[in-house]
A and B are shown apart, each in its own frame.
Chain A
């Protein structure tokens, strides 16, 4: 099993749709989790941090399920501008960024 695994997609959804991505991780001792967004040929940008059971920021909700070892990202009312690749990042050792494990990303295309 890969340390961090994401469905690569692509997810094609119409504007206004609700879409959810999952990310599974193998190390049950992992302490912190993050979602980054990366536009085509651009740098990754932090979208959300998930330290406890979940986090919500406007249309975006991240949830953590420690028992099943996955985090999810829910996007409500999708916009064209949400089209991007979403990277799941896991820190198996809290407080040690050099150990961050990056998923390969899930591609989202929001269509008019």
Chain B
């Protein structure tokens, strides 16, 4: 089934630990994004990539890093998790970086204790 796959779907993590959230798409979309969604704050962009090999910072990039080695994969890494990074993380993709029409993965619910 075409779409975006995120893993893990849920994770509890001790503060200070390193964590990578995986995201894979099979739609051959050029652009990919990582958002976090928190109650009362809505969706906020963490990092994005308009094409393989390039990445950029979004609204809330601190504490997170990404890579885009190929078209399909866009992992998000928390180098040293902190409790404020407890959130629901959504990976998304779009055909290009300018359509506004995003396809989302099912989300990864992360709890940092």
Contact = CB atoms under 8 A, between A and B. Distances in A.
Interface residues of B, number: 24
A45 B92 CA distance: 10
A32 to B, nearest CB: 5
A43 interface: yes
B13 to A, nearest CB: 19
B69 interface: no
Interface in B40-96: 40-45, 48, 56, 58, 90, 94
Interface in A65-112: 87, 89, 91, 94-98, 100, 102-105
A34 B97 CA distance: 15
Contact of A43 (B48, B97, B98, B106): B106
Nearest to A43: B104
A22 interface: no
A1 interface: no
A17 interface: no
B42 A103 contact: yes
A73 B98 CA distance: 23
B43 A97 contact: no
A94 B97 CA distance: 10
B101 A49 contact: yes
B27 interface: no
Nearest to A89: B100
Contact of A98 (B48, B90, B104): B48
Interface of B: 31, 33, 40-45, 48, 56, 58, 90, 94, 97-107
16 contacts: A42-B106, A42-B107, A43-B104, A43-B107, A46-B102, A87-B42, A87-B43, A91-B100, A95-B97, A96-B97, A96-B98, A97-B94, A97-B99, A97-B100, A100-B102, A104-B41
Given A46-B103, A49-B100, 14 more contacts: A34-B100, A42-B107, A43-B104, A45-B104, A87-B43, A94-B98, A96-B98, A97-B33, A97-B99, A98-B58, A100-B100, A102-B42, A103-B42, A104-B42
